[in-house]
């Protein structure tokens, strides 16, 4: 492809650009190369017109991405629901394993896999399709090695949880469940790079269908294991592992079947080239996202130090479960806006990249407000779905207003992080997260919770303030960004990380 093939008139009408996008979103060719950058917006009419155009592009990606995120998150959430009907200790054990052991690993694996959001997204936007498969294989190699190292965390979970202050009963039960969940760790290693590879090509509908099938099977099999066969936590672990591996196997079969065109041309020794540099980018992505994923998971850990720990952990885990479900909307939008920003920067469309963010933030905020309103309306009814313990239900009802506020705030933050990933700002945002979350939010939460004796509500309030400050800082960074410069940096990044294949052609100025 020659450079002239990429160029389009910059002032195409919105309707024509919308039609061009619909074609590019379903094609195995470059996603955004056929589109032009949006013209400058000079009034309300221009804003509404462009908002409608961008909303169609965004929700074409975000709709299936949200459904995929909800389905995959619900695998663990359904496991917690069934655990709550076994016993309060079982619910606490599964919650601690999900929040501390699996949560720690989830953050690392998702973060390292998210390096592909930047690389695959920008390479796809620039039409460098052949590099996507190489990036995928490099990420697989790195994450499998990482999973081997993290498996030690699962094996020694019981003494580790006891060391950090969990009760003996919770530590023992959660540690046993952690050992059962080691297969899930290796499913993470293959799933997250595969998901980012497919997302960059807008093949999100396929992921949604696979995840939906896994969710239905998981719910049915978990019910059989707990209610009919009475296998307890062991049965829940088997079903959760099987569901994750179902997703991984079907996605890989889909890719190997030749459905991705030039993006997958088979296994290549080039996947082992430049591995250390790729590891550094993966680690930067991991640090950024880990600091976000672990932040609210730490709430469950801190609750384990309060009086009546089992009730506190169980109640807070239910709230975190619901917050996680609501956050899947924002995370789905995060994936969509990351694809849109990285593709548009790769195609040298800086104004479109910036406007994608505006549309995503507005849309995600409105959805968060709607979810919060429904939750407040049914605050007396929904706890019965999660536990039979009335003490736990009372605490959940008391925490519902804070949960509703968190949903609104947390629906914006992942969208901002999606822009950071799409633009390749992982290292900078990691420092922001350390300062806002762990130097400000955690100390404030611990002071309110323990020093001022406000309990779970105090811990949660302080840590939520850390999220607010982080969102303000990233918003300021976005407002100060030179998006034309970011587009040029995207070209340099594609050339740098492409290795030998990138020396063949350059599509952009």
pLDDT tens-digit map of 213-263: 999 999 999 998 888 887 888 889 999 999 999 999 999 999 888 887 877
Rounded distance between C-alpha atoms, residue 264 and residue 70, angstroms: 27
Q: Please check whether residue 5 lies inside any domain of the structure.
A: no
Rounded distance between C-alpha atoms, residue 30 and residue 349, angstroms: 14
**pLDDT at residue 117 tops 90:** no
Q: Please check whether residue 92 lies inside any domain of the structure.
A: yes
**pLDDT at residue 450 tops 90:** no
Alpha helix (H) ranges present in 85-181? 88-96, 102-113, 115-125, 130-155, 157-163, 168-180
Range name among 232-246, 259-273, 302-316, 391-405 with the lowest pLDDT average: 302-316
> Which position has the higher pLDDT, 7 or 381?
381
* pLDDT number for residue 37: 65
* pLDDT number for residue 431: 83
Residue 427: give the domain boundaries: 12-503
Within a 10 A sphere around the Cβ of 471, how many other Cβ atoms?
A: 20
The residues, ordered by sequence, that sit 6+ positions from 144 with a Cβ below 8 Å of its Cβ are: 186, 189, 190
Rounded distance between C-alpha atoms, residue 10 and residue 171, angstroms: 61
Residue 29's pLDDT band (cuts 50, 70, 90):
very low
Alpha carbon dihedral 282, 114, 176, 296, in 10-degree steps, equals 110
Q: How far is CA 371 from CA 366, 387, 408, 411, 464, in A?
A: 9, 21, 8, 10, 18
Rounded distance between C-alpha atoms, residue 65 and residue 328, angstroms: 9
352-366 residue pLDDT tens: 777 887 888 888 888
Q: Please check whether residue 6 lies inside any domain of the structure.
A: no
Residue 1's pLDDT band (cuts 50, 70, 90):
very low
Q: At what angle do helices 88-96 and 44-84 cross, to 10 degrees?
A: 130
Q: Please check whether residue 82 lies inside any domain of the structure.
A: yes
- Percent of the chain at pLDDT above 90? 14
Rounded distance between C-alpha atoms, residue 352 and residue 383, angstroms: 43
Domains held by the chain: number: 1
How many whole angstroms from its chain centre is CA 466? 19
Q: If residue 99 lies in a helix (H) or strand (E), which one and from where to where?
A: none
- Percent of the chain at pLDDT above 70? 79
**pLDDT at residue 502 tops 60:** no
Rounded distance between C-alpha atoms, residue 157 and residue 134, angstroms: 35
277-299 residue pLDDT tens: 667 767 776 776 667 766 766 77
Read off the pTM.
0.68
Look at residue 211 and give its three-state secondary structure.
Answer: helix
- Annotate 216-264 with DSSP letters as a single string: HHHHHHHHIIIIIS--HHHHHHHHHHHHHHHHHHHHHHHHHTTTTGGG-
Residue 499's pLDDT band (cuts 50, 70, 90):
very low
Rounded distance between C-alpha atoms, residue 455 and residue 302, angstroms: 10
Q: Stretch 42-71: mean pLDDT, rounded?
A: 82
Cβ-contact 460, 299 below 8 angstroms = yes
Within a 10 A sphere around the Cβ of 245, how many other Cβ atoms?
A: 17
Q: Please check whether residue 363 lies inside any domain of the structure.
A: yes
Q: Stretch 476-498: mean pLDDT, rounded?
A: 67
Rounded distance between C-alpha atoms, residue 92 and residue 317, angstroms: 8
409-443 residue pLDDT tens: 888 877 777 666 656 676 777 788 888 888 998 89
Angle (CA) 454-171-88 rounded to 5° is: 65
Structure tokens at 95: 């919650």
Q: What is the residue-averaged pLDDT of the chain?
A: 77
**pLDDT at residue 501 tops 50:** no
* pLDDT number for residue 11: 28
> Which position has the higher pLDDT, 40 or 508?
40
186-200 residue pLDDT tens: 999 999 889 888 887
Q: Please check whether residue 7 lies inside any domain of the structure.
A: no
Q: Please check whether residue 1 lies inside any domain of the structure.
A: no
* pLDDT number for residue 287: 73
Q: Please check whether residue 384 lies inside any domain of the structure.
A: yes
Look at residue 160 and give its three-state secondary structure.
Answer: helix
**pLDDT at residue 122 tops 80:** no
Look at residue 410 and give its three-state secondary structure.
Answer: helix
Structure tokens at 469: 């400050």
């Amino acid at each position: 492809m020659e450079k002239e093939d990429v160029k389009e008139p910059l002032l195409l009408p919105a309707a024509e650009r919308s039609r061009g996008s619909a074609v590019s979103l379903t094609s195995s060719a470059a996603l955004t190369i056929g589109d032009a950058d949006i013209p400058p917006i000079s009034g309300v009419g221009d804003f509404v017109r462009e908002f409608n155009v961008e909303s169609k592009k965004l929700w074409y990606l975000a709709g299936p991405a949200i459904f995929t995120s909800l389905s995959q998150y619900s695998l663990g959430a359904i496991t917690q629901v069934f655990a709550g009907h076994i016993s309060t200790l079982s619910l606490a054990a599964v919650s601690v394993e999900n929040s501390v052991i699996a949560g720690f690993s989830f953050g690392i694996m998702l973060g390292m896999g998210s390096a592909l959001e930047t690389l695959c997204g920008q390479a796809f936007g620039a039409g460098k399709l052949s590099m996507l498969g190489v990036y995928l294989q490099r990420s697989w190699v790195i994450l499998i090695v990482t999973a081997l190292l993290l498996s030690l965390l699962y094996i020694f979970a019981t003494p580790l949880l006891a060391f950090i202050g969990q009760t003996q009963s919770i530590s023992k039960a959660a540690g046993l469940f952690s050992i059962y969940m080691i297969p899930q760790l290796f499913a993470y290693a293959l799933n997250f790079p595969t998901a980012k590879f497919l997302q960059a090509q807008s093949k999100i509908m396929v992921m949604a269908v696979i995840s939906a099938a896994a969710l239905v099977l998981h719910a049915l099999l978990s019910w059989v294991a707990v209610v009919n066969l009475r296998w307890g936590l062991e049965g829940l672990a088997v079903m959760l592992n099987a569901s994750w591996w179902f997703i991984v196997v079907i996605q890989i079969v889909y890719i190997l079947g030749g459905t991705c065109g030039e993006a997958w041309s088979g296994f290549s020794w080039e996947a082992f080239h430049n591995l250390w540099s790729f590891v550094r980018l993966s680690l930067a992505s991991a640090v950024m996202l880990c600091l976000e994923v672990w932040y609210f998971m730490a709430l469950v850990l801190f609750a384990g130090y309060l009086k009546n720990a089992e009730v506190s952990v169980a109640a807070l885990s239910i709230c975190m479960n619901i917050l996680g479900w609501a956050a899947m909307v924002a995370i789905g939008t995060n994936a969509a806006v990351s694809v849109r920003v990285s593709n548009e920067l790769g195609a040298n469309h800086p104004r479109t990249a910036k406007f994608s963010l505006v549309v995503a933030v507005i849309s995600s905020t409105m959805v968060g407000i709607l979810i919060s309103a429904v939750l407040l309306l049914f605050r007396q009814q929904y706890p019965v779905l999660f536990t039979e313990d009335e003490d736990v239900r009372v605490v959940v009802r008391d925490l519902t207003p804070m949960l509703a506020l968190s949903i609104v705030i947390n629906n914006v933050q992942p969208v901002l992080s999606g822009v950071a990933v799409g633009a390749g700002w992982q290292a900078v945002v990691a420092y922001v997260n350390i300062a806002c979350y762990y130097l400000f939010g955690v100390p404030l939460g611990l002071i309110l919770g323990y020093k001022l004796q406000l309990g779970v509500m105090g811990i949660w309030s302080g840590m939520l303030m850390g999220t607010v400050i982080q969102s303000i800082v990233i918003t300021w960074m976005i407002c100060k960004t030179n998006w034309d410069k970011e587009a040029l940096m995207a070209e340099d990044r594609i050339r740098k990380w492409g290795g030998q294949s990138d020396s063949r052609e350059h599509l952009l100025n």
